[in-house]
Amino acid sequence: MALILRFRKLCFFEQAKCWSRDEKALDSPKNDRKTAAGDDSASPEEKKQRKKKEKSSREWRCIDSCCWMIGCLCTAWWLLLFVYHCLPGLQAPEPPGARLKRDGLAALHPVVLVPGIVTGGLELWEGRPCSHGLFRQRLWGGGSFTEIFKRPMCWLEHLSLDNETGLDPPGIRVRAVPGLVAADYFAPGYFVWAILIENLARIGYEEKNMYMAAYDWRLSFQNTEVRDKTLSRLKSKIELMYVTNGFKKVVVVPHSMGVIYFLHFMKWVEAPPPMGGGGGTGWCAKHLKSVMNIGPAFLGVPKAVSNMLSAESKDVAFIRAMAPGLLDSEMLGLQTLEHVMRVSRTWDSIISLFPKGGEAIWGNLDHCPEEDHRCDTATRAEGNSSDGGHGFRLPESTNYGRIVSFGKKASQLHSSELSTLSSPLSPFTAAAVAPSPTPTLGNKVWTEYDEVNRASILGASDNKAYTADTLLDLLRSIAPKMMKRAEAHFSHGIADNLDDPKYDHYKHWSNPLETKLPNAPEMEIYCLYGVGIPTERSYVYKLSSPRKHRSIPLRIDTSANGGRTGSCLKGGVYFVDGDESVPVLSAGFMCAKGWQGKTRFNPSGIATYVREYRHKMPANLLEGRGVESGGHVDIMGNFGLIEDVLRVAAGASGAELGGDRVFSEIRKMSKRISIEL
């Protein structure tokens, strides 16, 4: 240390000398020459003295003041930090794990955690020359995303998948980080699973009975098995934990997209090889105690649509990762959004999140299950509890069924007034096939929009409003390659006859409306999700100015607002109740109705429970992201939810937890949906 200090000091003296010389050079070059000449002849001692002289004559200069300022700030900062650390920690609420341990709960069933989209870490195993030095470093999650800033183009290139196959591009291998570290923290300090893991550990869980089923969340589900054998690994791990923990069945805790990934797994594991895992019927019944879905996106999220159309996904993790300013900055030469779009369009998994079930679930042009939703619920819930305030029903009901409408007007008109809706496809699919002007003018950023004639897009926007059914047609026409790739892996319809052999294909496995649950009458399925946060449900779009965003012709019309205080339309987005990402309908319908009792989707009558957690903002900043949050990711730190998971892991059944716990209008909404059960 002392050495370093001395070195610094020397550096400074040298510098000081230089500066003073420069100044002198201005007033008297002669003098300078003299000193320079003298320097050579003078003995070291004299030199030292002169140096000192020069130093002492120095003025209190700007640089010094700067240094002084910085020094002051640093010292003050350290002092504060020191004081902060010395103070006894602010009384944190007791974590549920500690309390339950005192109540005598202990680890019983092994726990499997299945992370969702974007929260899992990805690391580099093989890359292009530009990625030198990043071997086995995280490209996504965990670290600080510094590589985005250092070499953005390289980073994007490595995170993209092949546009044709949906697998690795040649020469690039990016793989999921294995183990609990894969998704405990998304970024430093931004927990995902860490709090749940910590609480589980308090009642005795460790790595031998807790497993993070990390997978490459960019791939389509079946491709994770094809490329990485991830499903086989998960199967082997569950079997191992079942055996080594005294034949105790496993409690699975999937989150977000992990929920449909695990649905896929349950079908895969019982299906015969080569397509399936060959576990045989009864595998789930033998190995699984319960599936506790957190923030489940069973029926998809409308957000995925906006992400695909215009890369304007407002997804929590995504936004926080890339920092709000970044998206609009000009880092990549005005084409940030285009780049993001190009990359994310190669990720098949996003298509698994498209709304499923079409108009039967999400509503048609005039009706939708959430019809009389009051958008001031959130404010009401946290403000005064008196209902009388401004709880009047809006005269015009919001047409949530129109997931994408062009122009605010189109979203509100009655369907009979909309143009050409009876046959929406014929005009513009024809136009789409028409040869498009090849994008040559310095357009480095390829999105499929370039290939699609702008005229056809105009045709598309002429069509005014799209429901969950017609939306897929829209996407097919504007991003044909992506949809073709993805539709080999995912399906978004409703099955008429579940015994049809075509439903044995893996593309139906992640759609709860096209699969039967496994034959496991003792299993339990939970839907645990937050409510009380306005959640994106449908969008008002406009055409973007062709000059600015040449590659993305569609933009959300952020100027479209409801105008009234209680309006559901804000910044071009219609909101409903949900957890900020997943609307209540998508998260709760299967548990509340589609699987309730013995239905054709649930032939063995697996018990289902809906557990809702009302969102409460953290009272002050010190609480961080809150212990009663209902946000899509923040709910993983919700003490109520953690307690439920712990109790089930320690052996409790759904009835012992208290059965259903509902705050939203999910039952009323479900009733409005009339599908054959």
Give contact residues for other proteins (rule: CB under 8 A): 5-6, 8-9, 11-12, 49, 52-53, 55-57, 59-60, 64-75, 125-126, 132-136, 146, 150, 173, 175-176, 178-181, 184, 197-198, 201-202, 206-208, 228-229, 232-233, 236-237, 239-240, 243-244
**Residue 44: partners with Cβ closer than 8 Å, 6 or more residues away:** none
| Pick 97 or 363: Cβ nearer other proteins | 97
Q: Shortest approach of other proteins to residue 47 CB, angstroms?
A: 13
DSSP assignment of 509-539: TT-TTSSPPPS-TT-EEEEEEEESEEEEEEE
List, as one string, the DSSP characters of 392-457: PPPSSPP-TT-SEEESHHHHHS-GGGSSS-SS-SHHHHHHHHS------SS-----GGGTS-HHHH
As measured in angstroms, the least distance from the Cβ of 56 to other proteins is 4
Catalytic residue among 20, 131, 220, 256: 256
User: Closest approach of Cβ 577 to other proteins, in Å?
Assistant: 36
Q: Which is nearer to other proteins, 137 or 384 (CB)?
A: 137
Which residue in 313, 538, 632, 644 is the catalytic one?
Answer: 632
Which structure tokens are listed for 190?
Answer: 């931004």
Residue type, 315: D
The nearer residue to other proteins, 12 or 392, going by C-beta atoms, is 12
Q: How far is the CB of 9 from other proteins (least distance, A)?
A: 5
Exposure on the CB side of residue 606, measured as CA atoms within 13 A: 28
Which entry of 168, 577, 579, 634 is annotated as an active-site residue?
A: 579
Nearer to other proteins by Cβ, of 70 and 619: the residue is 70
C-alpha 220 chain-centroid distance: 16
Q: Is 579 a catalytic residue?
A: yes
For residue 538, report the phi and psi dihedrals to the nearest 5 degrees. Answer: -155, 165
Phi, psi of 528, deg, nearest 5: -110, 115
372 carries an active-site annotation: no
Q: Are 576 and 534 in contact (CB under 8 A)?
A: yes
- Cα dihedral angle (137, 140, 146, 150), rounded to 10 degrees? 80
373 included as an active-site residue: no
φ, ψ of residue 187 in degrees (nearest 5): -135, 165
Cβ closer to other proteins: 178 or 566?
Answer: 178
What secondary structure letter does DSSP report for 583?
B
Residue number with CB closer to other proteins (240 or 655): 240
CB atoms within 10 A of CB 391: 12
**Residue given tokens 């010190």 in the structure block:** 622
> In angstroms, what is the minimal distance from the CB of 427 to other proteins?
48
C-beta of 122: minimal distance to other proteins in Å? 12
Minimum Å gap between C-beta 248 and other proteins is: 13
Token look-up 């285009």 returns 338
Q: Tell me the CA end-to-end span of the chain in Å, nearest whole number.
A: 75
Which residue from 371, 362, 357 is spatially nearest to 399, judged by alpha carbons?
A: 371
Which C-beta is closer to other proteins: that of 86 or that of 441?
86
Chain length of the chain: 677
Output the smallest distance, CB 603 to other proteins, in A.
31
56/572 Cα distance (integer angstroms) = 66
Phi, psi of 541 (to 5 degrees): -110, 165
Instruction: Tokens for 289, please give them.
Output: 């105690």
Give the residue numbers annotated as catalytic, written as ranges: 256, 579, 632
